[in-house]
Amino acid sequence: MEVVIVAAPSEGARLVADAIVRLVRDQDEAVIGLATGSTPEGTYAELGLRVAGGSLDPDHVRGFLLDEYVGLPEGHPASYREVIRRQVVEPLGLHPARVCGPNGLADDLPLECRRYEAAIASAGGVDLQLLGIGTDGHIGFNEPGSSLSSRTRLKTLTASTRADNRRFFGEGDEVPSHVLTQGIGTILESSHLVLMAWGSEKAAAVAAAVEGPLRALVPASAIQLHPHATVVVDEGAAGSLELASYYREVWEAKPAWQGI
């Protein structure tokens, strides 16, 4: 696992955007796993700049969402499909058909989860999966207690995640209690995991994920099992890492052309 400590989220966003641009250049088409929440917003903005500058061709990018709320009406501004439409599809000029997400309005949710897994597989899998981390250590919407080999399925949010995500909903609007999320086993199948975290409120979760024991109580600790996982954190989110100075030393010695 590589841990990169950056001075500011904007520097992290540039590093991650560089990796995506390189991926598209090297293999002609790239499948990106799209996370939501505040954390990847800078990366999406940076990708928009790359498209505008001509270094990234959106016709060579496909996207799969990590997760979705169950039951939010079509077009609800907090639904992840809508968030990704606003932050990725439109600014990057992606054809909407190139981005898929689990349908939280499907009549048969287990069938929808199987359909989603099949769609990811038929795209050849995810090349680079963007991840944030919940303050309770979740990735996607895999809450503490999730099986480390889980597949896309229905989950119930914890009270703390619903409180954390309250800010994305309007006044009087309920945060749904149910979601569809790629499982941890699904996430681990992507070729490269890139977990980002900004701010000291994520420090405990980041330390538990990166340096703590592998356990269902900290779903993000599953990234320790992945052969190519990169954790990009700012100073605040790196605040509880025991090996921070070693991570800095490794990064400083790495040739710049290698990127993450």
| Window 48 to 67, contacts with ligand GLP (CB under 6 A) | 66-67
Nearer to ligand GLP, 112 or 143 (CB): 143
| Percentage helix, strand, coil for the chain under 3-state DSSP, each rounded to 5 | 45, 20, 40
Per the annotation, the verdict on 67 as an active-site residue is yes
Taking CB under 6 A as the rule, does residue 132 contact ligand GLP? yes
Kindly state the smallest distance separating residue 132's Cβ from ligand GLP, in Å. Answer: 2
Is 234 labeled as catalytic in the residue annotation?
no
Per CB under 6 A, 133 contacts ligand GLP: yes
36 binds ligand GLP (CB under 6 A): yes
Give the integer Cα–Cα distance in Å for 36 and 131.
Answer: 8
Contact 59, 124 (CB under 8 A): no
Q: Is 38 in the site for ligand GLP (CB under 6 A)?
A: yes
- For ligand GLP, the binding residue among 13, 19, 21, 35 (CB under 6 A) is 35
CB of 164 to ligand GLP, least distance (A): 6
Residue 100 interacting with ligand GLP (CB under 6 A) = no
Residue 19 interacts with ligand GLP (CB under 6 A): yes or no: no
**Least spacing, CB of residue 81 vs ligand GLP, in Å:** 13
Known catalytic residue: 136?
yes
Instruction: Examine the residue annotation and report whether 226 is marked as an active-site residue of this protein.
Output: no
DSSP for residue 166: G
Catalytic residue IDs: 67, 136, 138, 143
Q: Which residues of the chain form contacts with ligand GLP (CB under 6 A)?
A: 35-39, 66-67, 132-134, 140-141, 161, 165
